[in-house]
Amino acid sequence: MSLVTDFIVIGSGVAGLRASIALAEAGADVTVLTKDKARESNTEYAQGGVAVVLSEDDDAGLHEGDTLVAGAGLCDEKAVGTLVSEGTKYIKQLIDWGTEFDREGGELVFTKEAAHSRRRILHAHGDSTGAEFVRSMIARARQEKTINLLPFATTEGLIVNDGRCIGVRFRDPILRGPREIYARAVIMCTGGAGQLYQHTTNPPVATGDGMAMAYFAGAEMADMEFVQFHPTALSIEGAPRFLLSEAMRGEGGILRNNQGERFMGRYDERLELAPRDIVSRSIVAEMRRTGSRTVFLDMTALDEEFLKHRFPKIYETCAAYGLNLAKDLLPVSPASHYCMGGIRTDLHGRSTVRGLYAAGEVTCTGVHGANRLASNSLLEGLVFGARAGEAAVADNQDVEIGRSLQLPVLGSSDPVSRPAISTAVKKRVKRVMWERVGILRDKDSLTRAIAEFEQIERSSLSASSRNFVSLALLVSRAALWREESRGGHFRSDFPQQREEWRVHSIQKLRTEISSSSQIDFSRSNQLTGSV
């Protein structure tokens, strides 16, 4: 038996929760599907904080300028302007809802991170900002009686009729089988795809299924080659790649090689506060130069009590692995962290498929360009989650909810393989992505990766494995296509940024990869095909 609701939101991170609240405030019934518990998302793991213009010495122009510089010429200025101007309003609203940002003497505490020209980063509980976002927003969502949070409900695919997304098929956690749910529109807020890589700071749920489902439903995907690698993930044999926040370098942390030398001066005059892509490549270069598998983050110049208060979760995690934040050098190396590319949307979350909206890391709004500025991700989810929810209501007031059990589900796969095979496929894809489509890329490695992924794709795969391999192909093909280095994409055979490549890569199902020279994702009407 199928279900009916006004709107479906897939994902319960900051973007999904904010979209749901916007829908409910408009009087709509909202069903929120998430494949784990409601709190489990990339938002929950965000340590670094949220960038917002609230301090007296800051203004929106400065924040916008920093974002544009980090984006390496591919940001949409209208999108960035929307982010920084509306972000202040939505952060104030979060505070009104009870979000507890760190304060001293009753005043908000602002910190500085790499590539920011001002101290504008708010934190909560030191290094648990994302968790505080989720806590306060779930509490706010539960005040809305029309929001139905459905955890452990894995979405398997989108239902599309006559070019319009009208619902989803998901795995019902109670019935333990597939079920359809229909709505006026669907908002995809499933986060990123860090799990494509062997080493990542992302949680296990960040497998990119939302991107793949939208692609199979016919949505345009933009800038998939741009993947951000966080420079400093704790690198201990047998331990998960725990993120050591950018804020640690912002507070004075120093990167040293295995000989104890501070090395960032060899690579960039901004030292440890250079943009993430530069720091990550510098670390890789230094590891190769010295023949080591890690470098070290040195926090020993800072007071231990300060470190305990400022980074409580990081302090405890390091202690669990026998490391004292104030006394020991912390072994670190880069890990995949954030996807700048994703479902192509306008400034109101509209994708190129009618009835399908998206917000947060799953999208490419043009906000981040080729490289995301630190601590802009939570703000993006907040601002564009609200905008997507509002647009979905406004656009679909007269849309009737239809049902049809005969419609194909796009983004799933008929062949079903054993779980063990799915695990083996994912393990192989993750390794190939890390070794050949990682921080340093070249034509030969990318060509070999694509050939292997295409061979895997031709075999019988489960739905999740098919999504995973298809997403790896989208990233790899875009990376091979872009013959330059820009932001998070670095080609050792094309090491320079080239003005003629100041274009967006656009990929759509059953079409060749193309480009859009129009640096503008902000059109208020439905987006059309690529130029």
The pLDDT > 70 percentage for the chain reads 91
Q: Give the SS3 label for residue 51.
A: strand
User: How many CB atoms neighbour CB 499 within 10 A?
Assistant: 7
Query: Three-state SS for 100?
Result: coil
Pick 201 or 226 by higher pLDDT.
226
The pLDDT of 3-32, averaged and rounded, is 96
519, 370 contact by CB (below 8 A): no
Rounded mean pLDDT, 190-219: 94
Confidence at 37, pLDDT banded by 50, 70, 90: low
CA distance 504 to 520: 10
Contacts of 507 (CB under 8 A, 6+ apart): 215, 220, 221, 222, 224, 474, 477, 478, 513, 514
Ramachandran quadrant class, 309 (left: phi over 0; alpha: psi -120 to 50; beta: rest) = alpha
Task: Of 486, 475, 495, 493, give the one whose Cα is nearest residue 519.
Answer: 486
Whether the per-residue pLDDT at 233 is higher than 70: the answer is: yes
Q: What confidence tier does 409 reach under pLDDT thresholds 50, 70, 90? A: low
Closest CA to 32 of 11, 18, 15, 50: 11
In this prediction, residue 230 has a pLDDT band, given cuts at 50, 70 and 90, of very high
Which pLDDT belongs to residue 372? 92
Is the per-residue pLDDT at 413 higher than 50? no
Range with the poorest average pLDDT among 25-29, 128-132, 523-527: 523-527
pLDDT tens-digit profile of 136-195? 999 999 999 999 999 899 999 999 999 999 999 999 888 888 999 999 999 999 999 999
Task: Check whether 43 has a pLDDT greater than 60.
Answer: no
Q: Please, are residues 125 and 100 in contact by the beta-carbon 8 Å criterion?
A: yes
Compute CA distances 43 → 152, 314, 446, 483, whole Å: 17, 16, 31, 33
Which pLDDT belongs to residue 407? Answer: 56
pLDDT at residue 46 greater than cutoff 70: no
Per-residue confidence (pLDDT) for residue 417, from 0 to 100 = 40
Residue 479: pLDDT over 80: yes
What is the separation, in whole angstroms, between the first and last Cα of the chain? 43
pLDDT at residue 435 in the model: 95
Cα–Cα distance measured from residue 478 to residue 507, given in angstroms and rounded to the nearest whole number:
8
pLDDT for position 204: 87
pLDDT of residue 180: 95
Q: Spot the catalytic one: 276, 354, 387, 482.
A: 276
Rounded Cα–Cα distance for residues 385 and 163 (Å): 23
Residue 152 CB contacts under 8 Å (≥ 6 apart), including other chains: 34, 35, 36, 37, 173
Helix (H, G, I), strand (E, B) or coil at 34: coil
Q: Output the CA–CA distances (angstroms, integers) from residue 289 to 88, 359, 438, 490, in the order listed.
A: 44, 41, 18, 18
The full set of domains in the chain, from first to last, is: 3-41+134-192+340-395 (3.50.50.60), 231-337 (3.90.700.10), 413-496 (1.20.58.100)
- Place 526 in a pLDDT band, splitting at 50, 70 and 90: very low
DSSP 207-253: S-HHHHHHHHTT--EE-TT-EEEEEEEE--TTS---B--HHHHHTT-
- 144: amino acid identity, one letter: E
- How many residues make up the chain in this entry? 531
User: Tell me, what's the pLDDT at 388?
Assistant: 98
**Is the confidence at residue 411, as pLDDT, over 70?**
no
235-278 confidence digits (pLDDT tens): 998 777 888 988 899 899 999 999 999 999 999 999 998 888 88
**193 closest CA partner among 353, 343, 369, 351:** 343
**Rounded-to-integer distance, Cα 228 and Cα 384, Å:** 20
Q: pLDDT > 90: what percent of the chain?
A: 72
Enter the DSSP assignment of 54. -
Note the pLDDT of residue 250: 85
Contact 166, 402 (CB under 8 A): yes
The radius of gyration of the chain's CA atoms, rounded to the nearest angstrom, is 22
List, as one string, the DSSP characters of 444-475.
HHHHHHHHHHHHHHTS---HHHHHHHHHHHHH
Q: Is the pLDDT of residue 132 over 50?
A: yes
Token duo for residue 189: 């807020």
Rounded-to-integer distance, Cα 531 and Cα 516, Å: 5
pLDDT for the residue 246? 81
Q: How confident is the model at residue 355 (pLDDT cuts 50, 70, 90)?
A: very high
- Asked if residue 529 has pLDDT above 50, the reply is no
Q: Residue 333 — φ and ψ, nearest 5°?
A: -155, 160
Residue 350 annotated among the catalytic residues of the structure: no
Task: Give the per-residue pLDDT at 9.
Answer: 98
Cα(499)–Cα(242) distance, integer angstroms: 37
Average pLDDT value for the chain: 89
For residue 115, what pLDDT band results from cuts at 50, 70 and 90? confident
What pLDDT is stored for residue 530 in this prediction?
Answer: 32
103: tokens are 């304060």
Measure the CA–CA gap between 22 and 349, rounded to whole angstroms.
13
Digit-coded pLDDT (tens) for 303-318: 999 999 989 889 999 9
Q: Which residues pair with 296 in a beta bridge?
A: 256, 331
CA 264 to chain centre: 27
Q: 204-239 burial by CB neighbour count: b if 16+ within 10 A, else e?
A: ebbbbbbbbbbbbbbbbbbbbbbbbbbbbbbbbeee
